[in-house]
Amino acid sequence: MRRPGPRTIHSRVMVIFLFACAGPSADKRSVANEYSDTFPSTEACDGLTPLVVPDAEAAERGLARLQEGLGQALFPRVALDWLWLVWGEGVPTDEAQYQADFRERYGLAEAPFDNDGYPLGLHAVDSTWATVDCLLCHADTVAGVTVLGGANSRLDIEGLFTDFLALNEVAGGLGLPTVDLPYSLEGRTGAAGATDAFGLGMELSLFYAPDAEIQTSYGYQQSAPWGTMAYKDRVYADGAGDASGHRTMAAMMLGFGVPLSTIQSMDDDLADVRQAQLGMAPPAWPFDPPDVAEVAAGQTVYETACAACHGSVCQPGAPELVDAAGVGTDPTRAAAFGEREAAWVNRPSCLIRFVRA
């Protein structure tokens, strides 16, 4: 549970957004797929039934799209090769060690496919340029194994940007190109893995209408694993997004250097990416199996103390709308997302409909 926010007067209730541009509403067929008996891993229920079964071909295309990367030129590749200069740790012994240190320093996962030596979240655009993508925040390492779609709890993207700026200080003397970052990440990251991804998307969207008066700061959020998406009808920690839509994911692409018009032309790609997400499974528990009695005891606690709002373990259902002050979690995001913000993301060019409760 998140750090409780100050218990001051927050009469606002949690925000619920609905996306008019969402695809057809979740198909509630009770068809089990190959993942349904792996999640949850307790014996208590016969596995969860996914709410929607992905289209295999679209999922395959989406996975290929994720591996290709969804970004456009942001920084010269040569800068990535020379970042060690500002680490203050001497010359890397060899390429493999440099790559491992790089992943460790910025909290990135090793690519399980050929990614030009880059960790997941970075990729080459061409022979000169590189960029970032979804897998910065949506890939993790569990028990030493890369989980594509895992929620990265170690990311330090602001550290990467800060190191680029430090490299700029010495670039001239070394004949390296300087890195001209199109936006700043100052204040956008909290503890490892926690980012204000939502606020960054809003800030970058202002490039297309600088006069819009909207909040661009929503507190830090932890990224969400994709392997549970087939089982939910709402997304985001506060259940604020409709899981059947794919355009909720588009704003982050502004952060990958992709202009709005290109994002709009990539609509089918994002729809395919959503199908790929629906086909992902949570990683199997890699450690000793938990004690069956303790699991059962925990489930009883959950069903009595948590299920009223979060839904039952075996039948999650729709989340409850609760008062932001009453629940005691950090109210920053719910408080920041007001009528104006709802209207902003609701504007016709966005094709997204938000409803504030």
Least CB distance to ligand HEC at residue 344 (A): 17
Nearer to ligand HEC, 84 or 256 (CB): 256
The span from the CA of 135 to the CA of 266, in Å, is 18
CB nearer ligand HEC, residue 79 or residue 155: 155
Q: Is 306 in the site for ligand HEC (CB under 6 A)?
A: yes
Give the interface segment with ligand HEC, choosing from 291-299, 300-308, 337-345, 346-354 (CB under 6 A).
Answer: 300-308
- Closer to ligand HEC by CB, 179 or 204: give it: 204
Burial of 157 (0-12, 13-18, 19+ CB in 10 A): buried
Contact 9, 325 (CB under 8 A): yes
Does residue 318 touch ligand HEC according to CB under 6 A? no
Which of 111, 122, 204, 249 touches ligand HEC by CB under 6 A? 249
Among 163, 203, 233, 238, binds ligand HEC (CB under 6 A): 238
Give whole-number Cα distances, 60 to 48, 84, 342, in Å: 23, 36, 34
| Of residues 17-56, those binding ligand HEC (CB under 6 A) | none
Beta bridge partners of 129: 76
Contact set for ligand HEC, span 160-189 (CB under 6 A): none
Site for ligand HEC in 118-147 (CB under 6 A): 134, 136-138
> How many residues line the site for ligand HEC (CB under 6 A)?
36
3-state secondary structure of 258: coil
Residues 6+ apart with CB under 8 A from 279: 54, 56, 59, 63, 230
Count of other CB atoms within 10 angstroms of residue 9: 7
Name every residue whose Cβ is closer than 8 Å to that of residue 325 and which is 6 or more positions away in sequence.
7, 8, 9, 10, 11, 12, 331
Residue 298 tokens, joined: 């925990």
Q: Mark the segment that binds ligand HEC (CB under 6 A) among 57-65, 103-111, 142-150, 304-312.
A: 304-312
Q: Nearest 5 degrees, angle CA 33-CA 34-CA 37?
A: 95
Residue 12 lies near ligand HEC (rule: CB under 6 A): no
Toward ligand HEC, which CB reaches closer, 31 or 237? 237
305 makes contact with ligand HEC (CB under 6 A): yes
Task: Give the single-character DSSP code of 252.
Answer: G
- Nearest approach, Cβ of residue 225 and ligand HEC (Å): 7
Contact residues: ligand HEC, CB under 6 A = 1-2, 14, 70, 134, 136-138, 195, 197-198, 221-224, 229, 235-238, 249, 252-253, 273, 277, 305-306, 308-310, 322, 327, 329-330, 333-334
